[in-house]
Amino acid sequence: MLKTANLSYKFDDKYIFSNLSFEIANDSVFKLVGDNGSGKSTLLKILSGIYKNYEGELSCLEVDSVFYSGHKTGLKNNLSVRENIYFDIRLPKISYSQINSVLKKLDLIDYSDIQSAYLSEGQKRKINIASFMLSNANLYLLDEPFNNLDSKTTDLVREIFDTKVDSGAKIIFSSHERFNDDFPLIDMNLFN
């Protein structure tokens, strides 16, 4: 279970959000929505442990491993697509054959030996999706995972959400789109 109580975060004496309280049980997906600057990314960074100086309470019970994916992809320009996934610090030891099977699903197999510097933003985002697919974490924190993705990959990611949740994982992701799916919402605008 993931639980927050009166969680607040301020930057330069201005509260980004305040008194945010919620509980997320295992096997669930939550969507963070809100205007630009409402604190969606900040909340994900707090939950992932990147930001520590928050106010309020945060408890993560039964969370052994966290998979965080931010706005920045963390990809190394001079490593190939396959190498970037193989050396992804968020993943356990994986084989090239496992990577190849995921790259096939994402239509990236033809680019597997190409350095990520030469890929489009959407393809770079797909590499992060490949890592997401290969991860066996039990808490996923994804910052706008559908950005720059084509509709086919977006549908695939939604399917993977279901698979991960069925295996007992929790997923929290941020999005600007409120109404294109039926995931439970956390509206950050209410806490500004």
The region of 12-20, 24-32, 69-77, 106-114 touching other proteins under the rule CB under 8 A is 69-77
Q: Which two tokens stand for residue 17?
A: 């959000």
State how far the Cα of 51 lies from the Cα of 112, in Å rounded to an integer.
Answer: 33
Burial of 48 (0-12, 13-18, 19+ CB in 10 A): middle
Q: Least distance from C-beta 72 to other proteins, angstroms?
A: 3
DSSP letter for 39, please. Answer: S
* 36 is a contact residue toward other proteins (CB under 8 A): no
**Please, are residues 77 and 123 in contact by the beta-carbon 8 Å criterion?**
no
Binding residues for other proteins, total number by CB under 8 A: 25
* 68 is a contact residue toward other proteins (CB under 8 A): yes
Secondary structure of the chain: what % helix, strand, coil (to 5)?
35, 25, 40
Cβ-based nearer residue to other proteins, 14 or 72: 72
The region of 21-29, 75-83, 155-163, 169-177 touching other proteins under the rule CB under 8 A is 75-83
Q: Least distance from C-beta 88 to other proteins, angstroms?
A: 8
Q: Least distance from C-beta 115 to other proteins, angstroms?
A: 8
Cβ-based nearer residue to other proteins, 33 or 83: 83
- β-sheet with 55-60: strand ranges across: 14-24, 2-11, 55-60
Give 98's contacts (C-beta < 8 A, 6+ positions apart). 134
* 122 is a contact residue toward other proteins (CB under 8 A): no
Cβ-based nearer residue to other proteins, 37 or 184: 37
